[in-house]
Amino acid sequence: MSGEVRAPVVYLSNQVIAQRHFNAIAFAGFLRQKIRDERALGTVGQKIRLESFLPLASRTNIPEAWFRIRPVDVYLNFVHWLGQQPESQLIHSESGKSIVSAVSGIDQGKTNASKVYNEVLENVGEELMALVHEREQIHKVGGRVADVEQAIKNLLASDVISVLARRGFLPRYAFPLDVVTLETGRTRWSRDSDVELNRDRGIAIAEFAPGAQVIAHKKVFTSAGLYIVGEKDGPSVVGILSAQDVSRSELG
């Protein structure tokens, strides 16, 4: 009670945060060239749909009518573009140069950016293929596919910047930066829940562990386990948990 309060400290050379800001500088340059200057997606609004950034292999067996891009095989390849950019084209300020220094140079920054970007888009692509496969299996047995189809459409329509920020490629202007989501919908793309639950990763290890319960909106959500989608996904890298919604009557 009688001690001094230490002044808050921000380490400008923090490599993790600096890398995300480097990624933001590079991705902003990519969007300016491809979308603003070359108009690769035509006229776009505030939200840039994720569909044109997804690998082509993950878009197979999806009806063309579900895409907004024309032709449907338009692919905005950020990693290829980044590899061709010299430092002078990416960095135009002293603050930008300090970010490059914090990530151990332009080449290392580009390498790290490409690696994380590929991982994020490949994981999302695997989720898309898993949903398409689920739709096919349900259709074969004559089941109702409307929910899965809507999840696929929602994924294609997701804002690419929001997806990249949530998955750690772009900086998030909020704290904590490394958060885990408890998924309360049928899938993370279904948007069939009005509850959003996030925790710092260190806290989430306990609060969102399988079997743990969280109360929100007068409901009890019981964690069912880790949300694993593709072959590369696993407990060591996944940061998303699934949830089971328990009815209000069980709250007491």
pLDDT in tens, the chain (252 residues): 678 888 888 777 789 889 999 999 999 999 999 999 999 999 888 899 999 999 999 998 999 999 999 999 999 999 999 999 999 999 999 989 999 999 999 999 999 999 999 999 999 999 999 999 999 999 999 999 998 999 999 999 999 999 999 888 999 876 665 677 777 776 666 666 777 777 777 777 888 888 888 888 778 888 888 766 555 555 554 444 444 443 333 333
DSSP 15-49: HHHHHHHHHHHHHHHHHIIIIIIS-TT-S--SS-B
Strand-by-strand arrangement of the 213-216 sheet:
197-200, 179-183, 240-246, 219-226, 213-216
Q: How far apart are CA 235 and CA 227, in angstroms?
A: 9
> Reduced to 3 states, what is the DSSP secondary structure of residue 180?
strand
pTM: predicted TM-score of the whole model, two decimal places = 0.77
DSSP 118-137: HHHHHHHHHHHHHHHHHHHH
Phi, psi (5° rounding) for residue 58?
Answer: -85, -5
> Reduced to 3 states, what is the DSSP secondary structure of residue 248?
helix
**Own/partner pairs for 64-67, CB < 8 Å, 24+ apart?**
66/152, 66/153, 66/156, 67/156
pLDDT at 210: 86
CA-based radius of gyration for the chain:
21
CA 65 to chain centre: 24
pLDDT at 215: 84
DSSP 42-75: -S--SS-BGGGGS-GGGGTT--GGG--SSSTT--
Residues linked to residue 244 through DSSP beta bridges, in sequence order: 222
Q: How far apart are CA 152 and CA 140, in angstroms?
A: 18
Tokens of 152: 């696929």
Please, are residues 50 and 67 in contact by the beta-carbon 8 Å criterion? no
Tokens of 33: 């060239």
pLDDT at 178: 67
